[in-house]
Amino acid sequence: MQKSSATILGVMLVISFTIFGLLIKQALLEVKTFDRNVTVKGLAEAEFPADIVIWPIQFTAAGNDLESLYNQVDAQEQQIISFLASQNIAPDEISFSSPKINDKLAQQYGGQQDFEFRYSALQTITVYSSSIKLVRDAMPKITELGKKGIVFSQNDYNAQVEYIFSRLNDVKPQMIEQSTTNARMVAEKFASDSNSRLGKIKNASQGQFSIGDRDKNNPHIKRVRVVSTIAYYLAD
């Protein structure tokens, strides 16, 4: 009886060790399978028209009497407002800043220098509009006011026209879908070349959206770009 029991126990141990060994082998195979992956990047690019324009109109005036200088600035400001109204730009799209007055006499050090005008003023009128075409059509026409004596400051960095694309949230879904599709195409090609099969996504990163001008001559057309990074499992 003891001999028979020992034999049965031995057989059971052998079977148990065999099953345990098979389970370990299967687990190792699964670990090996899940350890194989490929990481790819998918690019999506698209062009969209800007939907907001910011047009700072800067002009300067000079004189030796402050009261006369302020009156000159006010008069030229009204000329610009009338011009913008003639171009169908709405009053609520126009804002004003206080004139910046520069006193050359107060800035002299080490002796007085000769200058024609003691005071100079810099005034900025800003157009903030969603009517891109309307504003762009008006921009070259404002030079007509220059012929009437208004001196515009166009080389100042703060006077540069700015175009904004504010509808990023509207286009995000389709661009993410496009970048994900492009990434999967690259991954499938890699899997095919390595005689593997593409599995599920291991992890993914959307990346950051970037918005830039299409080129320096067309800043009102924006290029939107996103790169998605996706890791896929590979299987035989």
pLDDT in tens, 112-157: 567 788 999 999 999 999 999 999 999 999 999 999 999 998 767 7
Structural domain including 198 reads 32-49+167-235
pLDDT in tens, 197-207: 888 888 988 88
Residue 32 to residues 19, 148, 193, 195, 198, Cα–Cα distance (Å): 20, 80, 20, 16, 15
Q: Which of 164, 196, 222 is the last residue of a domain?
A: 164
Per-residue pLDDT, averaged over 89-101, amounts to: 94
Rg (C-alpha) for the chain, rounded Å, is: 36
Tell whether 194 and 218 lie within a shared domain.
yes
In a domain, 1, yes or no: no
Give the pLDDT band of residue 220 (cuts 50, 70, 90).
Answer: very high
In a domain, 104, yes or no: yes
CATH code for the domain of 229: 3.30.110.170
Cα 199 to Cα 202: distance, rounded to the nearest angstrom: 9
Distance of CA 208 to the CA centre of its chain: 9
Tell whether 151 and 63 lie within a shared domain.
yes
Cα 123 to Cα 76: distance, rounded to the nearest angstrom: 10
Tell whether 172 and 143 lie within a shared domain.
no
Q: Exposure of 112 by Cβ count < 10 A (0-12 exposed, 13-18 middle, 19+ buried)?
A: exposed
pLDDT above 80: residue 16: no
Q: Which two tokens stand for residue 150?
A: 């208004």
Mean per-residue pLDDT of the chain: 85
Q: What are phi and psi of 130, to 5 degrees?
A: -100, -5
